[in-house]
Amino acid sequence: MTDKTTAQGATPGGPGNDEADATTTRAAVVAEAADGTSRSLTADAFRSLRRNPFFWISSALIVIFMLMAVWPSLFTTYDLGFNDLSRSRETPSGAHWFGTDTQGADIYTRTVYGARASILVGVLATTGVLLLGSLLGLIAGYVGGWVDTLISRLGDIFFAIPLLLVGIIFLSSLQDTPTLLGIPIQGYFGVIFQVVLVFVLFGWPSLMRLMRSSVIQVKPNDYVQAARALGATPMRIIRRHVLPNAMAPAIVVATINLGAYIAAEATLSFLGIGLRPPTVSWGVMINDGLTPLRASPHILFFPALFLSIAVLAFIMLGDAVRDAFDPKSR
């Protein structure tokens, strides 16, 4: 990742004829001020990350949720399809840790299986937004001129519509459509594809703006000019100089957004236009728990708890990474 170029020790204030050294000069000065030894910003950031308990808590939670998404049966003893109508709406007990829902299904099992939809949407939407936003931001910032104007104005238009509102319009108008551009969009993966698509389509401008401003900041620097004079291709300049400088803020924002996407997906499912029963997802389960809320709040409580912890984990991780990479906050 980014530490490839920046982790090597740099000579502060050096002549900058080595490209990697030049990139790290500024970072190294920051690091050196701390304790006299030469360390790059990235290495320094990872050091402070390792000492942050929030980083470890959130990482552990994320690993657990990822495991749940990939291999839910690892955590559960009941089958997903198991239900016993004679034990409908039972409160938590030894046999059913989180109690049972209206159908007499084990809420713990369903909550564990529900992780998959949320994690899938979060990870896919974030990856898509990161790729599309970064690519367009790089192009806009690097090429400049009318290309920049075009991409930036396009971004303004997509940025102008609040995500939840556009999600509602998009999903409610695709509710009865079997395929989109030849891709089936109903069923479990179909609906997840719809949700991811609308998040990527309307989420890229924030990453594009971030990337664009980083590129514009880096481009006039001496080391970039030097690299260009030495005949480096645009690809190389972007890979070696621009990306290492711009990746950290982009990843921070993307991590925090991942939590926001999970919350938005659950909200859409809860409203009844995202995933629908019999699909298991936290939003759907919370929707199921609405009717019996007064008498059996536990049906709603546990999926809501898992959802909140998942969102919390990603926001906490993003916060920790930002604090580590932002020297101002120290």
Q: Which residues bind another protein (CB under 8 A)?
A: 153, 156-158, 160-166, 168-170, 172-181, 259, 263, 266-267, 270-273, 286, 290, 293-294, 297, 300, 304, 307-309, 311-312, 315-316, 319, 328
Nearer to another protein, 123 or 166 (CB): 166
Q: How far is the CB of 99 from another protein (least distance, A)?
A: 16
Nearer to another protein, 190 or 244 (CB): 190
Closest CA to 268 of 181, 174, 184: 174
184 contacts 178 by C-beta, under 8 angstroms: yes
Nearer to another protein, 7 or 166 (CB): 166
How many of the other CB atoms lie within 10 Å of CB of 11? 13
Nearer to another protein, 242 or 263 (CB): 263
Q: How far is the CB of 253 from another protein (least distance, A)?
A: 14
323 contacts 248 by C-beta, under 8 angstroms: no
Q: How far is the CB of 287 from another protein (least distance, A)?
A: 9
Q: What residues contact 269, with CB distance under 8 A and at least 6 apart?
A: 117, 275, 276, 281, 282, 283, 284, 287
Rounded to whole angstroms, what are the CA distances from 76 to 23, 67, 95, 117, 208?
Answer: 49, 12, 12, 17, 41
Closest CA to 122 of 1, 205, 182, 203: 203
Closest CA to 18 of 217, 240, 220: 240
Give the Cα separation of 99 and 84 in Å (integer): 12
Q: What residues contact 316, with CB distance under 8 A and at least 6 apart?
A: 54, 57, 58
Q: How far is the CB of 161 from another protein (least distance, A)?
A: 5
Q: How far is the CB of 330 from another protein (least distance, A)?
A: 11
Nearer to another protein, 181 or 229 (CB): 181
Nearer to another protein, 280 or 310 (CB): 310
Q: How far is the CB of 172 from another protein (least distance, A)?
A: 5
List of E strands, 202-317 = none
Q: How far is the CB of 260 from another protein (least distance, A)?
A: 9
Nearer to another protein, 102 or 221 (CB): 102
**Helix or strand or coil: residue 275?**
coil
Query: φ, ψ for residue 233 (rounded to 5)?
Result: -75, 160
Q: How far is the CB of 218 from another protein (least distance, A)?
A: 22
Nearer to another protein, 130 or 300 (CB): 300
